[in-house]
Amino acid sequence: MKLIKLLFCVLFIHFFFMNSVFAATITGTPTKYETTMTKFELCTSSACTTTTVLGTKTATFNIASASAGADVGDWISSFALEVGTTYTHVQATINVTFTI
């Protein structure tokens, strides 16, 4: 019985310290974080069943290079909206894949 307790204690201590050994904390501020937008729409309801497409083109923006609240690029040059329509929501199609 003592041998089993000793073996259990040794294994517990071994696995406890193994987790600490392999844990590493690395922090930093990214200098490049690109996101790609392919479509931008205005919606007349939260379900976005009726949309008005403002633009469909692929554009990549580096959002790490901009400060909070600043512009990151120009995507839509001009568009026309229907008079009398109330738009309540925006729907953007964005590629959310990024590499660290």
pLDDT per residue over 37-80, tens digit each?
899 999 999 998 889 998 898 988 888 888 888 888 888 878 88
Helix (H) or strand (E) holding 18: helix 2-22
Residue 14 lies in a domain: no
pTM listed for this prediction: 0.57
Q: Average model confidence (pLDDT) for the chain?
A: 80
Question: For residue 65, what are the domain limits?
Answer: 34-73+82-95
**Interatomic CA distance for residues 57 and 4, integer angstroms:** 66
The answer to whether position 20 is within a domain reads no
Domain presence at residue 86: yes
- The answer to whether position 12 is within a domain reads no
> Residue 54 domain-assigned?
yes
Using CA atoms, how far apart are residues 34 and 43, in angstroms rounded to an integer?
Answer: 26
The count of structural domains within the chain is 1
Asked if the structure places residue 16 within a domain, the reply is no
CA 45 to each of CA 32, 54, 65, 83, 91: distance values in angstroms, whole numbers, following the listed order: 35, 16, 33, 17, 11
User: Looking at the domain assignment, is residue 43 inside a domain?
Assistant: yes
Decide: helix, strand or coil at residue 12.
helix
Q: Say if residues 88 and 45 touch (Cβ distance below 8 Å).
A: yes
Residue 19 lies in a domain: no
DSSP 45: S
